[in-house]
Amino acid sequence: MSGKVNKSPVTQLNAGKEEQGPDQNAGRENREQYQRRYTRGTILRLGKYMLHYKWLLLAAIICTLGSNLFSLIGPKLTGLCIGAIELGEGAVDFRTVFLYAAWMAAFYVISALMAYGLQVLMLTISRKVVYRMRQDVFEKLMTLPVGYFDIHQTGDIISRISYDIDTVNASLSNDLVQLFTTVITVVGALVMMLTISPVLVLVFAVTVPMSVLITKYITGRTRPLFRLRSAKLGAMNGFVEEMITGQKTLKAYGREEYTQHRFNKKNKEAVDAYYRAEYYGSVVGPCVNFINNLSLSLISVFGALLYLAGHMRVGDISSFVLYSRKFSGPINEAANIFSELQSALAAAERVFRLIDEEPEPADMAGAEELSEVSGEVRADHVSFGYLPGKTIIHDLSFTAQPGKLIAIVGPTGAGKTTLINLLMRFYDPDSGRILVDGKEAGSLTRRSLRKAYAMVLQDTWLFYGSIYENLAYGKEGATREQVEAAARAAHIHSFIKRLPEGYDTVLTDEGTNISKGQKQLLTIARAMLLDAKMLILDEATSNVDTRTERQIQKAMLKLMEGKTCFVIAHRLSTIENADLILVVDNGEVVEQGTHRELMAAQGVYRRLYNAQFE
């Protein structure tokens, strides 16, 4: 058999919550090394996404260079304007002043236009990257095993595909532009200051290392806080999604105050995590700003001394001060957005962790397509457990002959639904084999095996769309006549025709505009429409009344001719005509036979049956 489908997500969950990263028993140094390595990997992967649009990125880089270089010419021209004033004589060369002022205006206009073009390009790139990233995440979700969704909250998954990717989007479209601008402006301003006064530049030999060290120290402490923030927001979203879905049950049991208390706790954890991350992240900006102001003070003092010594002119000092603001200003702004970058990296990590999840194992080499199905299913000494060391199915064996109705009964937790999961290969057995038409399930492609089954679960699932689209969901190209025939067989056709739009009536919010019983009938009709040779019904009639249930049973007996049917039933009266009844208890088939045979045996089945009719 192929690898166990459930092991990867379960192992990851047990390994210590995916947001925590390395083993919690590892030393702090190892954790920091792990975080740095994963952060570098995250940045590289974001870079690969952007390189898919390299020509747009190249245009954005050109706009960044042009905008900042034209902007950097301004302070030099300002100094030349001031230098055109002949101090001590009161003469001003207005022609030169106006010429330099005109050039300044022209360069600033060009700089502004290129900055606008840069913003448009970065918005376009970020939109394309986010589209591709969401597409990759959703495609990944389609390949993940059922076990992943069994142990991860829906709200947390939705949070990753919406909030986390939106956070990355905001960072790419805004913060990345700021970083590009910072690098070019700082380098350009430094070069210009060196041409004016290399001696005065030495002030930054003290202040810049101070800024770097403070920024590095604080961001090293805040990075885990942003990871925790994303995790707490995901947990809160998962809780909210769960409570909204179970709103009726919540109200029926009067648990509003208890649920509110639980939400308040999760909300406080999320808000506290958000506050701590933002609070400590915001410390960087003021600290760097203080150092930049200190550098400006030192430049003013030493510049004045150099002027008095005759080594600098007033115009040069003016240009140097303006360039020092352009040099230190972007550094301050970069420090301010560093917290946002940390948030974006933490969000990207969560997204990439999902993308990196182990998919459902690929079909084995040379796997066959299951075709011309007759419907014989055999379990041969099957054992299985969702978690290592906790076996649910113990040495299970049975044979289902083609075209027969197989009922699976037993107390709650006996392993009935787990058996269905194994038949559909949502999970693979730990030991033993399941064979379909004499072929081991592991040697068949999952797609062809699952298409051989039609399935109706106790929990109905309908999507937003018309009734016709929902019924034809599993059969591509189904005609209106075929859909209506299936609806008649399920005794739902007359109800559909009474709706305002008939089969074109749109179901909203998972079919909340129709009753639960009608939803169940629609899912049964959907299964009837398939050409599958095997049918699985997991308490499929639990939401319909007794009269409708009997009508469906009669229709299904006719439609199931030639199909192997597995029916999980709690109401034993519904499976009295089954060809074979499997009585499951503690993960084992303790009895099997027809209703008459099992009643005569006076075993577990007889006790279950009598308990329902006492």
pLDDT band at 13 (very low <50, low <70, confident <90, very high): very low
| pLDDT tens figures, 352-380 | 988 888 888 888 888 888 888 888 899 88
Query: What percent of the chain lies above the pLDDT cut of 70?
Result: 83
Task: Find tokens 């115009």 and name the residue.
Answer: 315
pLDDT at 216 over 60: yes
Q: What's the average model confidence in pLDDT over 261-271?
A: 86
String of DSSP letters for 245-312: HTHHHHHHTT-HHHHHHHHHHHHHHHHHHHHHHHHHHHTHHHHHHHHHHHHHHHHHHHHHHHHHTTS-
| pLDDT tens figures, 448-488 | 888 888 887 766 778 778 888 888 887 877 888 888 888 88
In angstroms, the Cα distances linking 506 to 100, 389, 468, 483 are 68, 47, 9, 16
pLDDT, residue 421, reads: 86
pLDDT at 491 over 70: yes
Give the 3-state secondary structure of 431-459: EEEEEECCEEHHHECHHHHHHCEEEECCC
Angle between helices 54-83 and 176-196 (to 10 degrees): 30
pLDDT, residue 88, reads: 46
pLDDT, the chain, mean: 78
pLDDT band at 23 (very low <50, low <70, confident <90, very high): very low
pLDDT, residue 548, reads: 63
Q: Where is average pLDDT lowest: 85-99, 123-137, 220-234, 348-362?
A: 85-99
Q: Where is average pLDDT lowest: 248-257, 277-286, 447-456?
A: 248-257
Which has more pLDDT, 402 or 28? 402
pLDDT at 278 over 50: yes
pLDDT band at 7 (very low <50, low <70, confident <90, very high): very low
CB 291 within 8 A of CB 305: no
Q: What's the average model confidence in pLDDT over 132-148?
A: 87
Which of the residue ranges 182-196, 544-558, 591-605 has the most confident prediction, judged by mean pLDDT?
A: 591-605
| pLDDT tens figures, 308-333 | 777 777 777 777 777 777 777 676 66
pLDDT band at 33 (very low <50, low <70, confident <90, very high): low
String of DSSP letters for 153-201: -HHHHHHIIIIIHHHHHHIIIIIHHHHHHHHHHHHHHHHHHHHH-HHHH
Q: Where is average pLDDT lowest: 149-163, 253-267, 536-550?
A: 536-550
pLDDT, residue 371, reads: 84
pLDDT at 169 over 50: yes
pLDDT, residue 248, reads: 62
pLDDT, residue 434, reads: 92
Q: What's the average model confidence in pLDDT over 102-122?
A: 86
pLDDT at 443 over 70: yes
pLDDT, residue 291, reads: 78
Q: What's the average model confidence in pLDDT over 206-233?
A: 77
- How far apart CA 72 and CA 329 sit, in angstroms, is 13
pLDDT at 22 over 50: no
Query: What percent of the chain lies above the pLDDT cut of 90?
Result: 1
pLDDT at 21 over 60: no
Which has more pLDDT, 151 or 497? 497
pLDDT at 351 over 70: yes
CB 574 within 8 A of CB 544: no
pLDDT, residue 511, reads: 53
pLDDT, residue 38, reads: 62
Q: How many helices (H) and strands (E) does the chain have?
A: 23, 14
pLDDT at 91 over 50: yes
pLDDT at 157 over 60: yes
pLDDT at 27 over 60: no
- How far apart CA 148 and CA 128 sit, in angstroms, is 28
